[in-house]
Amino acid sequence: MSILTKYIVNEILKGAFIALILLLTLFNLFTLADELKDLKGAYNLTEIFIYLALTSPRVCYELVPAAALLGSLFVLGAMGNNRELTAMRAAGVSVLGIIKSVLIAGAILATFSIGIGELIAPITETKAQILRSSAQDKKLVSNSKYGLWLREGDKFINVRKLENNGEIADISIYEYNQTHLKMVTHAEKAVYLDQKNWRLENITQSQISIDKMQVNVKNTQSWKSTIAPDLVKISVVNPDNLSLIDLSQYIKFLKSNQQKSQTFELAFWGRVVNPFVTFVMLLVATPFVIGVKRGVNVGSRMMIGIVIGMSFNILDKIFGHVGLIYDFNPLLMAISPSLFVSGVSVYVLRRLV
């Protein structure tokens, strides 16, 4: 790697990380303002700041492409205004050489993004949501007022509360045959023992037939289920914030129980594509720097970056929703916005070369 390439890469990385810190601070301030509205009981300032710390990796992962765009616009724009890019090109560095340096920086940022998004963010995000729900004394493990619903064969399972230690509470199990409901089991708590084995505690079991209903009360009962604590915890977190492994497991579970999985498949492929969005943002920034005349101030470049970033985000959301509505291929819907924007960027760059 030449000295000039190292210089461009280092400057872009510095600009991207500074932009990332500023964006993360700004987003956390907005989140803090929202969380202060729920300040009551056990959910005090300490809990709020812990919640912000735990959600920061997820926010950081989401902001890497935007930070790459803003940082590269600022750094490369400053180089253009200071005639550094002109001097580099006079020294024999081609436009393709500059683009290569930009993409090397993108590879480093994408690696950083994958590390945060797959190894840290899913764990801390789950802990953050459980912490928030527990501190606010919320019984629900999902945003629905009816709790979490799961299907396993001919059984429908409703979970109302998720404990910090992985146990679930306030569980109802509805068992059907082909024509009607035949048994309802309610347990105050379920303790996970090992693979596929739970222990239900404080149980009320109702056997239903055409002629009568029989109610039995038990202290404990074993329960075999493919549902594991990690699978339940997935419900706490938005699909877009889950790791690829978690999403893959949940998609497999849904398909094995003949349930729709398009939302999670779209989230899965979205996470696969997300690191490449960083490259797309850097490709978008390059023609604006090389093709725009010197003297464009920082504010104008930042405005360009914000407009581009917002437009890409809107385009991505539109493709995602259209794909869900019309049941299009999730991979195609996830990758289409990036392919479209990168295609336009490459076309513009080819005209500049």
212 and 293 in a single domain? The answer is no
Given pLDDT bands bounded at 50, 70 and 90, which one contains residue 37?
confident
Sheet strand arrangement including 197-208: 148-152, 155-162, 168-176, 181-194, 197-208, 213-224
190: β partners: 168, 200
User: Residue 113 burial by CB count (10 A; 0-12/13-18/19+): exposed, middle or buried?
Assistant: buried
255 in any annotated domain: no
**H-run or E-run covering 222:** strand 213-224
Number of structural domains, the chain?
2
Which residue range is the domain that position 168 belongs to? 148-235
256 in any annotated domain: no
Residue 213: pLDDT over 50: yes
178 and 231 in a single domain? The answer is yes
343 and 203 in a single domain? The answer is no
128 and 268 in a single domain? The answer is yes
119 and 22 in a single domain? The answer is yes
Angle (deg, nearest 10), helices 3-35 and 45-81: 150
18 and 40 in a single domain? The answer is yes
155: β partners: 152, 175
pLDDT tens track for 151-206: 888 888 888 877 766 678 889 999 988 778 889 999 999 998 887 889 999 999 99
Given pLDDT bands bounded at 50, 70 and 90, which one contains residue 143?
very low
The one-letter code for the residue type at 250 is Y
118 and 192 in a single domain? The answer is no
199 in any annotated domain: yes
Whole-structure pTM value: 0.77
Phi/psi of residue 260, each to 5°?
A: -70, 135
